[in-house]
Structure 1
Amino acid sequence: MQSSLFHHAEQQSQERYVLQNPQLLRVALQGDDILARKGSMVAYQGMIDFDGEYESAGRRRERKRTGEGLELMRCSGQGTVYLANLAQYVHVVEVDRDGLTVDSSYVLALDAGLHTEVIAVDSQYGISGSGKYQLTITGRGKVALMTSGRPLMMRVTPETSVNVDADAIVAWSTPLRVQMQAQTYSSPVHRRRGSTGEGWELSFLGQGFALVQPSEVMPPQHAQIGEGVRGRFGNSGQNANNSWS
């Protein structure tokens, strides 16, 4: 058989995390486990076991209360596993001692030895909204992040602060100081400011980076196969006007 499809054969590499293509991650397992988003496996080779990752009752309550936290599966064994989610762009990040803060909706996989914890992002209004709770990842290892489209990495310095729409931010360096704000003259502050369609934003100060995606719409969570709203958008109301299908 002949076809241009054979141009997309497996990528051979000695690296543990390799992008098979911009939307598909290849991870080599040699006895070191990884944690991956539930349901993200699209193919594997070798002797790989997939198990639901244990979640304590406290962590379950925290995830229910904050909306943050990952539903993970543990991938272990010897072989190669391929991971993807809704054809989103995949990016591999090396986490160092400074740590990484991320919206859990954009995490595809991470080394099992990394530590995760839900934190609250300060809001001058004390209002729970998009971006208030995030996930910090600490330790040394790799994390695979996802973005809707090709992202923008913005450098934050003491001389140059960065402001990002709270619906477009994906991740940032944990040491950065963060303030959540809504520049609006409207009352109450829950309203998106003026008639611009812009709402909450995060202001970053210090030294580090902020990763922004070219989309203000979350990927569907717990998407279901079928027709209708649940089939197109998943179970979450946050996907209103989402064009994913």
Structure 2
Amino acid sequence: MQSPLFNYADQQSQERYALQNPQLLRVSLTGHDDILARKGSMVAYQGAIDFDGEYQSTSQRNASARTGEGLDLMRCSGQGTIYFANLAQYVHLVDVDHEGLTVDSAYVLALDSALHTEVIAVDSQYGISGSGKYQLNITGRGKVAMMTSGQPLMMQVTPEKYVSVDADAVVAWSTQLRVQMQAQTHASSIVRRRGNTGEGWELSFTGNGFALVQPSEVMPPQNAQIGEGLRGQFGNSGQNQNNSWN
């Protein structure tokens, strides 16, 4: 059998983490280097690999119940090669070191099991209940594979140049940055996340580091309200759960 499809055969690499292509992650395991990955993200594997879907530390379980933020992970161990992907999003590898990484858990594909994660809150300057944003702090030494919808923009933050980004488009930033959540619209209309401008909350960064932004916003559904459970998240009757606009 012949086909151009054979040009997409698996790529050989000596690296533990490597990109098979921009939207597919390849991870090699040697038997003593477990990784954690998003549940359901495995698309193929070779070798003797064990997937533990019940993995979750007590602190992660408590944080997820309290805030709704957290990684729903599986532990991958054994010897072989695993391929991960999620909705054909672009995959990016980051080396985490002493600086640390703060990231929205929705954009984490896989990470070294030795890394430490902790849920943190970014509060609104207006003190409006339900308007804060929870993120994950990742510290230690190791690799994280993140995802973006489309090719991202990396913005450098310096004491002379602060950066503001849409809270629905930001993916990650340097942990040491100072960050404040604020409204892009006048105070009279901020209860509705996007007011009259089509914009909503933004994160303002100061200090030294970077902020990673994707060219896609996680838009709130039609008629969504803050602090109203499923109705608040998805609009009337829990519809528009997948950002499906009528």
- TM-score, reference length from structure 2: 0.86
Identity in percent? 78
Structure 1 pair 238/200, CA: closer, same or farther in 2 (3 Å)?
farther
Q: 1:86 & 1:126 partners in 2: Cα distance?
A: 35
1:127 corresponding residue in structure 2: 128
Q: CA RMSD in A?
A: 2.0
Aligned-pair CA distance for 1:9: 0.8
Deviation at 1:129, TM superposition (A): 5.1
Contact 2:44 2:82 in 1 (8 A): yes
- For the structure 1 residues 111 and 53, does the alpha-carbon distance in structure 2 shift closer, same or farther, using more than 3 Å as the test? farther
Aligned residue for 1:59, secondary structure, equals helix
Structure 1 position 66, deviation (Å): 1.2
Q: Which residue of 1 aligns with 2:72?
A: 71
Looking at structure 2, the residues matched to 215 and 239 of structure 1 have their Cα atoms a distance apart, in angstroms, of 14
SS in 2 for 1:239: coil
Matched, 1:80 2:99: no
Shift in Å, 1:193:
5.2
Task: Report the alpha carbon displacement of residue 119 of structure 1 after superposing the two structures with TM.
Answer: 0.4
Shift of 1:187: 1.9
> What does residue range 101-120 of structure 1 map to in structure 2 within 5 Å?
101-120=102-121
Q: 1:229 is matched with which residue?
A: none
Letter aligned with residue 119 of structure 1: I
Mapped contact 1:118–1:134 kept (Cα < 8 A): yes
Q: Answer yes or no: is the 8 Å Cα contact 1:35–1:72 preserved in 2.
A: yes
Aligned partner of 1:107: which letter? V
The gaps in structure 1 that reach 5 residues or longer are: 219-234
Letter in 1 for 2:30: Q
Residue range with higher mean Cα deviation, 62-71 or 121-130:
121-130
Question: Could you say if the C-alpha distance between residues 56 and 142 of structure 1 is closer, same or farther in structure 2, counting changes exceeding 3 Å?
Answer: closer
Aligned to 2:16: 16
CA-CA distance at 1:192 after TM superposition: 3.8
- Which residue pairs with 2:244 in the alignment? 241
Give the deviation of 1:125 after TM superposition: 1.5
Cα deviation, residue 188, structure 1: 4.9
Q: How far apart, in 1, do the equivalents of 2:88 and 2:122 lie?
A: 29
Q: 1:98-148 CA distances to partner (integer Å, 9 max, x unpaired)?
A: 100000000000000000000011321223557611000000000000001
CA separation of 1:112/1:86 partners in 2, compared to 1, >3 Å: closer, same or farther?
same
Q: Bigger CA drift: 57-66 or 42-51?
A: 57-66
Aligned to 2:29: 29
Look up the equivalent residue of 1:180 and give its one-letter code.
M
CA offsets, 1:66-89, max 9 Å, x none? 121001000000100000011111
Structure 1 distance, partners of 2:181, 2:103, is 15
Letter in 1 for 2:115: L
Paired residues of 2:189 and 2:195 also in contact (CA < 8 A): no
Q: 2:164–2:203: 8 Å Cα contact kept in structure 1? A: yes
Q: Distance in 1 between matches of 2:21 and 2:42?
A: 15
Q: Could you report, residue by residue, the CA deviation over 1:5-54 in whole angstroms, capped at 9, with x for unpaired residues?
A: 01101111100100000100000001200000001100000111101243
Change (3 A) 1:130 1:21: farther
2:3 is equivalent to residue 3 of structure 1:
yes
State the 1:60 CA deviation.
2.2
- Letter of the 1:24 counterpart: L
Check conservation: 2:123, 2:131, Cα contact below 8 A. Answer: no
Q: Give per-residue Cα distances to partners, 1:168-201, cap 9 Å, x unaligned.
A: 0000000000000003224253124552110000
In the alignment, structure 2 segments of 5+ residues that lack a partner are: 220-237
1:160 aligned partner: 161
* 1:40-55 correspondence to structure 2 within 5 Å: 40-55=41-56
